[in-house]
Amino acid sequence: MSPFTFLVGWLRLGANGSGMRDWLAVFVPVGLLLLAGQLWLAPWDARLTDGWFVEVGQHLEIDERIRLVEVDDRSLSDLKAPVSFWAPHFANTCAALLQARAAAVGLDWIPYEMDQSVFDSLREHFHELGTVGENPWVPLLLASQERQGSFLVQGIYPTNLQSHLSAPPASQAQNGPTQEVLSIVGTRQLAFLNLSRDADGILRSQTVVPVKLQEPLWGASAFAPFAARLAEVALGQDIDPSHPDPVFNLRPLPLDRHGRIRVLYPAPGRVPHFSLSQILAWRRDKARLRREFEGKIVLIGPGTKLFQDLVSTPVGEIYGVEAHAATLNALLTGAWVKKLPPAWDWTLLLLAVGVGGGLGLWLSTAFSLPVLLLIEGCVYAGCRGLFQARHVLLPVLPLLVGLAVAWALAAALRARRQTHRENYVRQLFGRYVSPAVMQVLLRDPGQTALGAVSRRRITVLFSDINGFSGHCEKKTPEQIMGMLNQYFEHMNRILFRHGGTIKQFVGDEIMAMFGAPLEHPQAEEAAVLAAVEMMRHLTSLRAADPQEDHGFYHIKVGIHSGDVILGNVGSLERTEYAAVGDDVNLGSRIMNMTRNLGGDILISQEVYQKVKHLPGMSFVPKGAHPVKGRVEPVEIYQVVPE
């Protein structure tokens, strides 16, 4: 089925249904759209809300234990040896931090394996690398033995992790630890540095549980993420990925299916940071190092663009070590994005669809569109405010799309229903009411009581042509039809002008109603004035046709007011708007009394009481007369225009 066919079928469902079917016509297609659209809406939703992270990052709580030690431009200037041979610098830096009683030290740098002879030849030119023949990792080994514990975490880049984790930076030629480092820290203290990127390359969520390898590597079948392992070492507790609801630092972890949390990133530069060369310069000032780093969690990594380790995040480009620091901060402080359970998300989406559908179904487009835009603005502002205040992220784009699409479909349904109703009203009343009345009915079809039955007081007018049978004997059928059409045309205009509704033509008889389908505040007066004008107009027409060869000029009129039943009668194939009741029949019988009582216009007592004050005419009592179906006789009056 093509989308066009589905849309046409949907519009037909809404046009022919009501109530629950209206809602189903909105909820079902929008619900299916949102369900299918989760895959393509999610990335756009993430992009829409990225700017909110910048605002939150400016004031985000940062654990005061986190410190960054960066291989920055200052370090490159102070330390002259090529970076590939900085093993002594990393070893001395880590040793100094361990001796300063740092709670944990993480090395986001994988030192290169090197040939001892080549290294010794470099030492002759760069004395900062240490004494010839000395193993560069000895200071770190001694510091680790002194601490009597595993406080150093070495970052690695396993090549066979899950696909949602990124590859190492282009500058990182080696992906695993040197033998010396592995013997010092042990396999358990190896942690992967791979970061998790979304499809658009933005780092939003980061893995915090161990990830299994496709094949064992360095003696292990799984490794923990770098930031998570640092947090575990610092707090002395592990994250158990086998638990259905993992908890860390007394907080439940809101993990996705990849074992990730969505991280709140501090604004760049907010985490305290130092230069690697600065730490090396302070090695002999142990008191200062202790003041700065005792009890701290230190991450050592690249801090200059030279190493091509910049990553994109919602708060902008930052270095990879800063991304690890943000994940570490989230684990320590709970600075992660909170989300409602899926059931709540769907409840909100259905509520949005209901609101949008209600606007489209119940209000006109001209009114509902500004209201929709106002509600969408409020939803966006509310979601943004909730995120800034509580870090709760709602599916804002699906909510906005659900509102808009539901409104659009409901508005289309309403327009279709309106067109259907207008066609129905035109079909039902188009031949019987004036254009002005028709416009009122189209603007407010509810006044017609379509599909319902109501009781109302109306005025009925009956008229027919005197001597119609004699005319038929003298003229051809074609002439009679032409004269009838001309007569009805003149009478219709007069009746419409006074607010009457042509109920039916039966032969030469006209039945008109005043007060239905629209209420008429002066129905009796309008009917009498219309009857008088009908008489005067026919008299003027007869003056131009004294032989009465081209028209009908003599009529009789009966008018009565009373309570009748109004509604649609008929079958599914044919429906007619009808007025039913004894008072309708009485109007016809009063018209027929003109033959015996004389006079062209006769009215009942009920009408007389409402019109006796009218100027320019007099009312002649004709007495009370028995009428079939009535117990009491009916008072009749003749209307005589002056």
| Mean per-residue pLDDT pooled into runs of 10, the chain (642 residues) | 47 49 61 61 86 91 94 90 84 91 91 65 60 70 78 81 55 65 86 88 91 81 91 90 83 88 92 94 91 94 90 93 95 90 81 83 86 93 93 90 84 78 62 58 55 82 92 87 93 92 88 88 96 95 89 94 85 72 93 91 96 93 90 93 88
pLDDT at 376: 93
Do 90 and 126 lie in one domain? The reply is yes
Sign of dihedral through CA atoms 118, 121, 125, 126? positive
Do 214 and 348 lie in one domain? The reply is no
pLDDT at 360: 83
**444 is a domain residue:** yes
pLDDT at 34: 60
pLDDT at 245: 82
pLDDT at 13: 47
pLDDT at 119: 61
Do 442 and 486 lie in one domain? The reply is yes
Q: How many domains does the chain have?
A: 3
Domain's final residue, options 314, 333, 352: 333
pLDDT at 614: 93
Do 444 and 554 lie in one domain? The reply is yes
Do 408 and 550 lie in one domain? The reply is no
**220 is a domain residue:** yes
**23 is a domain residue:** yes
- 29 closest CA partner among 291, 360, 250, 387: 360
Do 609 and 531 lie in one domain? The reply is yes
Question: What are the tokens at 410?
Answer: 């409901």
Do 360 and 494 lie in one domain? The reply is no
pLDDT at 23: 56
Do 551 and 510 lie in one domain? The reply is yes
Do 103 and 188 lie in one domain? The reply is yes
**354 is a domain residue:** yes
Instruction: Collapse the DSSP code of 81 into the 3-class scheme (helix H, G, I; strand E, B; otherwise coil) and give the result.
Output: coil
Do 84 and 210 lie in one domain? The reply is yes
**47 is a domain residue:** no
Residue 232 to residue 243: CA distance in whole angstroms:
16
Do 22 and 91 lie in one domain? The reply is no
78-82 — which CB contacts under 8 Å span 24+ positions? 78/275, 78/277, 78/281, 79/128, 79/276, 79/277, 79/280, 80/126, 80/128, 81/122, 81/126, 81/128, 81/129, 82/122
pLDDT at 340: 82
Rg of the Cα trace of the chain? 46
Cα 490 to chain centroid, rounded: 56
* 504: CB partners within 8 A, 6+ apart: 510, 511
Domain's final residue, options 333, 352, 379: 333
Q: Which domain holds residue 389?
A: 3-36+340-424
pLDDT at 502: 87
Do 242 and 291 lie in one domain? The reply is yes
Domain's final residue, options 400, 424, 448: 424
What's the CATH code of the domain at 514? 3.30.70.1230
Let me know the angle formed at the C-alpha of 347 by 342 and 348, rounded to the nearest 5 degrees. Answer: 100
pLDDT at 24: 62
**429 is a domain residue:** no
pLDDT at 518: 81
* 28: CB partners within 8 A, 6+ apart: none
**453 is a domain residue:** yes
Question: What are the tokens at 443?
Answer: 């603007």
pLDDT at 450: 46
Residue 23 to residue 303: CA distance in whole angstroms:
57
Let me know the angle formed at the C-alpha of 335 by 334 and 338, rounded to the nearest 5 degrees. Answer: 85
pLDDT at 7: 43
pLDDT at 142: 81
**559 is a domain residue:** yes
